[in-house]
Amino acid sequence: MTPLIWSLFGFALWTLLLLFMTVGVYRWSHILTGRIAIRHFRADKIEGADWYRRAMRAHANCVENLPVFAVLVFALHTAKIESDVLNWVAVLILPARIIQSAIHVALPETNTTTSLRFAFFLAQAVGFFTLAAPLVKLFVSGV
């Protein structure tokens, strides 16, 4: 598999791990100890500890960005576009995502932590646009 595919796999795996290591542990520990009924975890109203609410948002953010990354990798793979630069960009997107999520879950919301999270999100966004560039070039050239 190419670094692009491995990075996409890592992103998907991180999305699952984040869900099960944070939201899953929180919910099941409360359900299994009888502190709350399973029906109390409503989708339209997020309640619970601050870190849990941040974990829910961090996971949702992964879910929101995973399809974008997947489509870019799929399109590059289908078009047989490969380069060392694209591979490095893809490899750097994954740690940026993991660090962004870790900051989101572990640290309370302050101007500093929000700025750090945004910096790592911006790194991913720049990476996504970098991956998209050769596809746009291919589209514009009419091939």
For 89-124, the pLDDT digits (tens) are 999 999 999 999 999 999 999 999 999 999 999 999
State the average pLDDT over residues 66-84.
96
Give the span between the Cα atoms of 93 and 128, in whole angstroms. Answer: 8
Residue with tokens 């050769």, as numbered in its chain: 134
pLDDT digits (tens, 9 = 90+) for 26-57: 878 878 888 888 777 777 777 788 888 899 89
Q: Write down the pTM of the prediction.
A: 0.88
Give the span between the Cα atoms of 139 and 57, in whole angstroms. Answer: 35
State the average pLDDT over residues 76-91.
95
Give yes or no for a contact between 91 and 11, defined as CB atoms under 8 angstroms apart. Answer: no
State the average pLDDT over residues 9-32.
89
pLDDT at residue number 118: 97
- The residue extents of the domains of the chain are 3-141
> What is the token pair recorded at 67?
């399809």
pLDDT at residue number 33: 87
Running DSSP on this structure, what letter comes out for residue 48?
S
33/17: higher pLDDT: 17
pLDDT band at 87 (very low <50, low <70, confident <90, very high): very high
Lowest mean pLDDT across 11-20, 32-41, 125-134: 32-41
pLDDT at residue number 117: 96
3-141 has which fold? Answer: Four Helix Bundle (Hemerythrin (Met), subunit A) (1.20.120)
Whether residue 143 is predicted with pLDDT greater than 70 in this model: the reply is no
